[in-house]
Structure 1
Amino acid sequence: MTQPLSPPRKRSPLNRTLAPSQPPAARSRTSHGFTAAAAEGRFALQCCAHCGSFTYPAREICPECLSTELPFVEAPRGGVLVSETTVRVPADVYFRERAPWRIGLVKLDCGPVMVSHLHGDCAEGERVAMSLQLDKSGQAVAFAKPQQETPHMQDDRQWREMTADPKFRRILVTNGRSPVGLAAVEALLKAGARTIHVGVPENWKPFPEEERLRALDGVKLVPLDLGDERSVRDLAADIAGKTDILVNTAEFVRPGGLTDRQGTSFFQMELAETYMGLVHLAQSFGPAMRMRGADGIDSAAAWVNVLSVYALANWQPFGAHAASQAGCLALSHCLRSELRSGGVKVMNVFTGPIDGDWFQTLPPPKVAPRAVADGIVSGLRQGLEEVFVGDVAQDVRRRLAANPKALERELG
């Protein structure tokens, strides 16, 4: 039975921080179909288009009928743990530092047998639920958990290695004035966060929720202007080495595209707050978080960017905003590559129009800030890289996958 996680003790500054290491990362190009599924929390296997057989591991041809048409499709998650073992002296550096480590063979209901990492509450001969997880190297691995919820299930040591659960972690939310930032603070506190620093731009200017935030136990308001490099660096000098999860809720939304606007002031303001704000955060907080990827149960774990789904396909009524979000998306891919060596996940949360002031005139459906906050917590607990919140975001995702050019015309 999984034991509940204990709050971490205060570290001695004299102790050396353990350098991050990574599990083996070699994969074939075909096997990245598993990676794409794991990034979004799906369990997908190759299924032959001719005979319908599921196959694992990734192959170029079907072992049953030799067909070359093996698309990745959603697969049943159920299976039986037929055997298990505990590795106590692994050869690999990453697993040696985390030994003992449980692995096992799972016979899936759909046919294949998978080598899987095991949750501590899985027992040989019992049914399990499978998932694909992204490990510290950013590659997809199979993970087996009990089919039924068990006490303190999220606290399992091996499961926590695959995720970025907020429990007992110290978090920075970059904009406490935004509705999403406020909702994220409350959701992360409920998820067990240890301390939350909340950035407040123009901290001399009061805002309606300020007193409520100050009254929350474990919440500390700090001055932070993402468009000001010095402001970001000053805060990083104080808390970068103590930030386990960074949630970037930068917000600057104005309607209009290119030819509808006169002058460049709004473009510059939007880029300063979103694109350049992400640059300032990455340069100031990224190196410290990357070095703390193996720092115990409250190690640096994740970087979250809240982005518009129109970063994936420009929507003309808010075309300039979508363009700045597309730039942030490209930067997040760069950041993901750079933080991977420290085992820090970069998660992008894509939303449709948020129910707030700047999307006030748009008809439903719109996304409630609380739904975005819940998506952030859920994504962290599952260890995802891509989260789509709300009907609009899910719809754009599906249409983009089906026909990108059609979506471009429809949004334009």
Structure 2
Amino acid sequence: MSVPIERPPRKDPQAATRPAELPPLNRSRSALGMTAWAARGIFALQVCDACGRVAYPPRDACSGCLSTSLRFQPVEGGATVIAETTIRTSTDLYFRERMPWRVGMVRLDSGASIVTHLHGDVAVPGPVRMVAKLDKGGNAVVIALPAEDSDNMADDLQFRELTASPKFRRVLVTDGRSAVGQAVAARLAGAGAVSVFVGIAEPWKPFAGQSELAAMANVETMELDLTDTASVTELAGEIGGKTDIIVNTADHVRPGGLVGQDALATAHQAFEVNVFGLQRLAMAFGPGMRARGGDGTNSAAAFVDILPIHAFANLPEFGFHSASCAARHSLLQCLRAELRPGGVRVMSVFTGPVDDDWRQHVPPPKVAPSQIASAVLTALNEGIEESFVGDVAQDVMARFLADPKVLERELSQ
């Protein structure tokens, strides 16, 4: 059984911070196809259209019939581990600092054989389940897990390298006034976070859920206004050096498109919070997090942003809100590239319409704050880069992947 990790002691301020080394980065275009699926938490391999052979590692032509018609698709993760070894020394800087490292050979039930990372609770020989994860360099890797969950399996050091578990980490939730922010704070505090800092804009104004938030264990409210650069900078100066995970729950929602009387004011407010607020967070906290991405158990781990699925396709009824979310999605892609050298994950949690005051006239199904909080925790615990919460989000994403132009017409009707 995995040994439970212990809360790290207070860091010696004179001790050196371990550099954020990354695993090998270079991947072929074919291998990046596997990364795209792994980013959404799906174990997918190439399957030959001509002969049905499952291919691994990713390649340009089938090894059985030489067909170039290889497509990634989800496959069953059942497998049997047939051999193992433990690597105790390496010339690679990333692995050298994390030795020993356990690897093995498994045979998938679908036929392919894979050299893979082995979870510490895997018995050899024996059945395992294969999952695809993103390593700290943002590339897909596979790891064999026990066929059944074991005690403390999330604390296995190799597995923890592939996730962003909040256990014993410090988290900043940016908007505690919203029901989503309060639900996320409660869920993370219950998941073992050492401290959950919750940002409150204009804290002198009362808000729904204030007393419940104040009563939560390990939760501390902090003044934070994402529309005020000084406010964000001051908070970063106070807690930036010890913030391991940021969950941005801020979202300014108002109906309206381009031709309404209040369109300019609506646009300004939406972009001020949803776009420039994200930028202020990245500028203030990003450099410190990137520098601490390899700092042991309490290393900086993830920047999570919660945003509507209409970042992919504009919903005219909420036109400027959708546009601000599209800009936000684009900036998250930039931030993902900028934080990757530090091994810090940038995660997007896309939601359907939230059940709040501004979307009461939007027909169901809607997403409850508790669903979003669960999705955030799952994304962190499983290392999922893109999550989709609710039936609407999953449906819109499926239609977007099928044909974005058709989806545009459907939403405009």
Query: In the alignment, which residue of structure 2 is the partner of 1:132?
Result: 132
Residue identity opposite 2:141 in structure 1 = V
Equivalents in 2 of 1:388, 1:275: separation in Å? 20
Alignment of 1:219-368 (within 5 A): 219-368=219-368
User: Aligned-pair distance for 1:208?
Assistant: 2.3
* Residue identity matched to 1:303: F
Read off the aligned partner of 2:395 and give its amino acid letter.
D
Displacement of 1:123 in angstroms is 1.6
Tell me which residue corresponds to 1:371. 371
Work out whether 1:28 is the aligned partner of 2:19: no
Q: Give the letter for the 1:17 counterpart.
A: T
Aligned length: 412
Which stretches of structure 1, 4 residues or more, deviate above 2 A after TM superposition?
260-263
CA contact (8 A) 2:169 2:194 kept: yes
Instruction: Give, as a single letter, the amino acid of the residue that structure 1 aligns with 2:373.
Output: A
Report the secondary structure of 1:3's partner residue: coil
| Superposition map of 1:9-408 within 5 A | 9-408=9-408
3-state SS of the aligned residue for 2:255? coil
- Cα distance in 2 for residues equivalent to 1:261 and 1:69: 53
Alpha-carbon deviations, 1:295-337, whole Å to 9, x = none? 1111100000001100011111111100000111111000000
Question: Do the aligned residues in 1 keep the contact of 2:188 with 2:377 (CA within 8 Å)?
Answer: yes
Contact 2:21–2:294 (Cα < 8 Å) also in 1: yes
Q: Cα offset for 1:52?
A: 1.1
- Give me the whole-angstrom Cα distance separating, in 1, the residues matched to 2:289 and 2:252: 26
1:68 partner amino acid: T
Shift of 1:263: 4.8
State the SS of the aligned residue for 1:98.
coil
- Equivalent pair of 2:251/2:307 in contact (CA under 8 Å): no
**Which moves more between the two structures, 57-66 or 80-89?**
57-66
Structure 1 CA distance for aligned equivalents of residues 25 and 401 of structure 2: 27
- CA offset digits 1:112-148 (Å, max 9, x no partner): 1111111100121111110111001111111110010
Distance 2:252 2:2 in 1: 44
Unaligned runs of 5+ in 2: none
| Deviation string, structure 1 residues 319-375 (Cα, Å, up to 9, x no partner) | 110000011111100000000000000000000100111111111100011000100
> What is the deviation of 1:261?
4.0
Check conservation: 2:60, 2:68, Cα contact below 8 A.
yes
Q: Which amino acid aligns with 1:336?
A: R
* d(CA) in 2 for partners of 1:34, 1:330: 22
Query: Which residue of structure 2 lines up, in the alignment, with residue 3 of structure 1?
Result: 3
Supply the distance in 1 between the matched residues of 2:113 and 2:263 (Cα, whole angstroms): 61
- 8 A contact 2:256–2:263 mirrored in 1: no
- C-alpha distance in 1, partners of 2:204/2:20? 40
Offset at residue 260 of structure 1 (A): 2.7
* Alpha-carbon distance in structure 2 between the residues aligned to 1:261 and 1:279: 28
What amino acid maps onto 2:368 in structure 1? A
**Which stretches in structure 1 are left out of the alignment for 5+ residues?**
none
Write out per-residue CA displacement over residues 357-400 of structure 1, whole angstroms, 9 at most, x where no aligned residue. Answer: 11111111000110001000001111011000000000001101
**Percentage of identical aligned residues:** 50
Tell me the CA shift for residue 209 of structure 1.
1.3
**1:214 CA drift (Å):** 1.3
Asked if the contact 2:256/2:266 (under 8 Å) is kept, the reply is no
Query: For the residues of structure 2 that align with 1:108 and 1:319, how far apart are their CA atoms?
Result: 47
Residue 362 of structure 2 aligns to which amino acid in structure 1? L
Pairwise CA distance, 1:224: 0.3
Q: What is the identity, as a one-letter code, of the residue corresponding to 2:103?
A: I
Q: Structure 2 length normalisation: TM-score?
A: 0.99
1:262 Cα deviation after fit:
3.3
Q: Distance in 2 between matches of 1:265 and 1:372?
A: 29
Take 1:81 and 1:33, find their aligned partners in 2: how far apart are those partners?
Answer: 25
